[in-house]
Amino acid sequence: MARTIDWTQATWADGYAAVQAMTDALGMPVDTGIVETVVALNLLGFQTLQSCEGHLDHGTPYPWVTLIHHPHHSRFIRAWKQVCDLQEEARHLGTPEAYERLFTTELAFRLEVATWKRDDTLFSALIKLLDTFYADRPIPPTRLMVLRMHPGMSRIEPGSARQLREAPEPVKRIYLQQAQAEMQTFTAFLKRLLLHQKRIKQVSEQLNPRQLSSAGSVKRKQEVI
């Protein structure tokens, strides 16, 4: 059973232990090669849902991490379920009234999705994160991209992922290793971000309002003297 953890207060050790304790629906743990990526993303304020380090004998021949923003995801799922229910009703009844309800609701849903995509904060934050990561780096064939699965759910995976699924085994083997190396480089970048945030927090805690006020008083006294 996975540990419950408050990521806003967790240390790296706390997060690492929590991720190692996580299992999927089949009881399988998080792949060793993607654990640190998952830990770092959660500590940075993202919420991961699924992940894979990449495999040749099962799953996908490249690493990936799926992230979720629960409020946006739940909103999408509720609206989509309503469309699906009305679709089933229309097929069952076969009446113009039933189809009108379906068409009206589905149109409203599609218009809402367009708005939700524009306001998808998770997708935007991930794009910004990757843009920062690649700002001063050459673009490799295994460059990581953000795939929007639907509003409130996105996946970080290599841009070559779709082509790799159909590639010959020798090609998959080569690019799996390259994609895993790219994900590890990205993870090292995330860990540097965490260290930077920690330093800022430490400075902020050291310079609390009372200390700043005291420092200001001392400065003013010195100026008077």
User: Tell me, what's the pLDDT at 216?
Assistant: 54
**Count: domains in the chain:** 2
Question: Are 84 and 191 contained in the same domain?
Answer: no
Question: Are 131 and 109 contained in the same domain?
Answer: no
Is 225 inside a domain boundary?
A: no
Question: Are 166 and 192 contained in the same domain?
Answer: yes
State yes or no: pLDDT of 213 exceeds 90.
no
Range of the domain at 65: 12-69+120-200
Question: Are 87 and 111 contained in the same domain?
Answer: yes
User: Tell me, what's the pLDDT at 209?
Assistant: 58
Question: Are 49 and 125 contained in the same domain?
Answer: yes
Query: DSSP assignment of the chain, as one string?
Result: -PPP--TTT--HHHHHHHHHH-B-TTSPBPPGGGHHHHHHHHHTT--EEEEE---SSSS-SS-EEEEE-HHHHHHHHHHHHHHHHHHHHHHHH--HHHHHHHHHHHHHHHHHHHHHHHT-HHHHHHHHHHHHHTTTS---TT-EEEEEEETTEEEEEETTHHHHHTS-HHHHHHHHHHHHHHHHHHHHHHHHHHHHHHHHHHHHHHT-HHHHHHHHHHHHHHHH-
Question: Are 112 and 18 contained in the same domain?
Answer: no
The predicted model gives 43-69 an average pLDDT of 95
User: Tell me, what's the pLDDT at 3?
Assistant: 57
Is 215 inside a domain boundary?
A: no
User: Tell me, what's the pLDDT at 118?
Assistant: 87
Question: Are 40 and 130 contained in the same domain?
Answer: yes
What is the pLDDT confidence band of residue 196, given thresholds at 50, 70 and 90?
A: confident
Is 46 inside a domain boundary?
A: yes
Question: Are 140 and 188 contained in the same domain?
Answer: yes
Question: Are 38 and 129 contained in the same domain?
Answer: yes
Is 87 inside a domain boundary?
A: yes
Is 218 inside a domain boundary?
A: no
Is 219 inside a domain boundary?
A: no
Is 182 inside a domain boundary?
A: yes
Q: What is the pLDDT of residues 133-155, one digit of tens each?
A: 999 888 898 999 999 999 999 99
Question: Are 162 and 180 contained in the same domain?
Answer: yes
- Per-chain mean pLDDT for the chain: 89
Question: Are 44 and 132 contained in the same domain?
Answer: yes
- Least confident window among 17-31, 59-73, 77-91, 200-214: 200-214
